[in-house]
Amino acid sequence: MTEIAEIYKSRLANLDGWRDIGVEPYANKVEVTHHAGDLQKKYADIEAGVETGDEVTVAGRIMSVRNSGMFIDLQDHTGKIQIFSHKQSLAPKYMDTLKLYDLGDIITVTGKVRRTPRNELTINSEHIQLLSKSLQPLPEKHHGMTDIELRYRKRHIDLTDNEISKDVFIKRSKIITAIRQTMLNEGFLEVETPMMHPIPGGAVAKPFVTHHLALDQQLYLRIAPELYLKRLIVGGISDKIFEIGRCFRNEGLSPKHNPEFTSIEAYQAHANYEDMMDLVEKTVQEAVRAVHDGSTKVTYKEKEIDFGGNWPRKSMTELVKEKTGIDFLKVTDPEDAIKKGREIGLDVPDGSNWGQVVEIAFDEKVEDTLVQPIHVTDLPMDISPLAKAKKDNPLLTERFESFVNGWEIANAFSELNDPFDQYRRFKAQAEQKDAGDDEAHHFDEDFIETLEFGMPPTGGLGIGLDRLVMLLTDSHNIRDVIAFPTMRPAAAASLVTRMDSES
């Protein structure tokens, strides 16, 4: 017999012990008056040995036991507090039950608050009751669960004993709230658009495919909400709209990529990409302040990043010129650009267009150096199929990407609103698709029809939330900021199931 089964049987015996004395081991709700962390704050100043006489009821999980149940460390979502059980204050019928408790059990305790002579804030239990029996053992108490795979697969265990992990997810929530609140304060209307699309669009990516039975129709999980948000702009529900939601891309996993991830997209009619830069700064700064006590400074991997103030705005070609000495605005023939790029050691594929060469130069020579926040503007038309061209230079678009720590955290542009141009660009994408590019855009006639009704000049913005959370919590893997990251399936080990099948 395995050890885990021994532990299970011992706990099952205790569970039966509770039933023997007429206590249901999975109780109904009880009234909780206080939380551990709040009590620690409230009584922070009382001295060792002081008994307050204040009666409280708390509830939480047993994290450790000393002196055969005399001392229990109880943990709730706010913190920990010690429970003291002694025959002086606890009736014999409760004293007798102390031996039935196991680590991990969820209990409720009522009693008076005191600080022990050893200076530990403590509740003298007068009433103690089991709320939920724990049958599975918790991780080792000193080191906790360090196996990173288990932490991702068993987040409920990770959260019970890992303060850092818990803190990250609380901060993630605060960041989303701050961004939502900033958007609302700026007059944006929060909207929802479909996650199941008949035609995937709005980005260049491979989609997940699913099927609707009743309609007998193929559907795609959205790779971006963009085209539907633009439909709402055309409809004029509001000049300013935003959506916070999940996108799905059927691509590789990495420390910076999860197949489902959260984006914030905002669209503003009668605005352009420059207005979007202001919006990025506002929302991101509020998010930073929300989790850094009002400061805009963050430390990521020992580097200090200051999100405050107005971020510099520099064009992509200018940045490339600074780092490589090549002014691609003066080398606009694709063949010449390829040649120039290769001269400085860039890995440029044959047949690249001008914009692709500029992008490669930027990726290889500039990107990593952009540690402090910056808006990289005027991206090439060739790599910006949904962005409006610059008035004075058709090679470039009114588009920018915001970089922090060498990562793109936002992407925005003045949206293409010309149905003829959109038609041509979809057609070009469709041809690429026929030629075997499975990431190319589908031809979305319905969207062109939408634009034919007239979309006002509009600024659009997308922010990758998960990476922002990584930056603001000093997390180095996207899986650390997603509660249940995508993993290969692993066998569960329910003891109830196993014992049932063995008997």
Partner RNA sequence: GAUCGCUUAGCUCAGCCGGUAGAGCAACUGACUUUUAAUCAGUAGGUCGAGGGUUCGAAUCCCUCAGCGAUCACCA
Nearest by Cα to 426 from 397, 455, 447:
447
Q: Three-state SS for 377?
A: strand
Binding residue for RNA, selected from 137, 198, 245, 457, defined by CB under 7 A: 137
From the CB of 443, what's the least distance to RNA, in Å? 20
Does position 220 interact with RNA (CB under 7 A)? The reply is no
Q: Rule CB under 7 A: is residue 411 a binding residue for RNA?
A: yes
| Identified binder of RNA from the candidate list 25, 139, 200, 225, rule CB under 7 A | 139
Residue 43 makes contact with RNA by CB under 7 A: no
Q: Which of 23, 32, 195, 205 binds RNA (CB under 7 A)?
A: 205
| Smaller CB separation from RNA, 233 or 379 | 379
Give the binding range for RNA (CB under 7 A) out of 143-151, 295-303, 311-319, 370-378. 143-151
118 binds RNA (CB under 7 A): yes
Q: Measured from the CB atom, is 248 or 426 closer to RNA? A: 248
Q: Least distance to RNA from the beta carbon of 480, Å?
A: 9
Q: Phi first, then psi: what are they for 104, rounded to 5°?
A: 100, -15
Task: Give CA–CA dist 480/483, Å, rounded.
Answer: 7
Pick between residue 81 and residue 319 the one whose CB is nearest to RNA: 81
Q: How far is the CB of 355 from RNA (least distance, A)?
A: 12
Within 13 Å and on the Cβ side, how many CA atoms surround 330? 6
Q: Which amino acid is at 161?
A: D
* The two three-digit tokens of residue 38, written as one number: 């709040």
Backbone φ and ψ for 297, nearest 5 degrees, come out as -100, 140
Least CB distance from residue 82 to RNA, whole Å? 6
Residues 72-111 interacting with RNA (rule: CB under 7 A): 73, 82, 84, 86, 88, 102-103
Regarding 496 and contact with RNA (CB under 7 A), the answer is no
Q: How is 436-447 classified by DSSP, letter by letter?
A: T-TTSPP--HHH
147 binds RNA (CB under 7 A): yes
Gap between the Cα atoms of 126 and 55, Å rounded: 10
Site string for RNA, 226-265 (x = CB under 7 A): -----------------------x-xxxxxxxxx-x----
Q: Give the residue with the Cβ less far from RNA, 13 or 170.
A: 13
Q: What is the DSSP letter of 98?
A: G
| Binds RNA (CB under 7 A): choice among 33, 77, 119, 342 | 119
Which range binds RNA by CB under 7 A, 38-46, 127-135, 210-218, 470-478?
470-478
Which of 18, 152, 413, 447 contacts RNA by CB under 7 A?
Answer: 152
Contact between 301 and RNA per CB under 7 A: no
Number of residues that bind RNA (CB under 7 A): 72
Positions in 339-398 near RNA (CB under 7 A): none
Closest CA to 57 of 124, 102, 115, 121: 124
CA dihedral 395, 355, 387, 223 (to 10 degrees): 170
Q: What residues between 45 and 64 interact with RNA by CB under 7 A?
A: 64
CB count, 10 Å around CB of 251? 14
Contact flag: residue 164 with RNA (CB under 7 A): no
> What's at 84, amino acid-wise?
F
Q: Which conformational region is residue 294 in: left (phi greater than 0), alpha (psi within -120 to 50 degrees), or beta?
A: left
**Helix, strand and coil in the chain, % to nearest 5:** 35, 25, 40
Tell me if 243 sits within 8 A of 227, measured CB to CB. no
Helix extents (H) in 236-331: 273-291, 316-324
Give the residue with the Cβ less far from RNA, 261 or 447. 261
Backbone angles phi, psi at 262, to 5 degrees: -105, 130
Stretch that binds RNA, among 147-155, 233-241, 284-292, 337-345 (CB under 7 A): 147-155
> Nearer Cβ to RNA, position 136 or 238?
136
Question: For RNA, which residue of 19, 30, 41, 66 counts as binding (CB under 7 A)?
Answer: 66
Closest CA to 128 of 53, 219, 199, 57: 57
Using the rule CB under 7 A, is 71 a contact of RNA? yes
Q: How many CB atoms lie within 10 A of CB 94?
A: 17
Restricting to residues 17-36, name those near RNA by CB under 7 A: none
Q: Which of 40, 116, 353, 432 binds RNA (CB under 7 A)?
A: 116
Question: How many residues are recorded in the chain?
Answer: 503
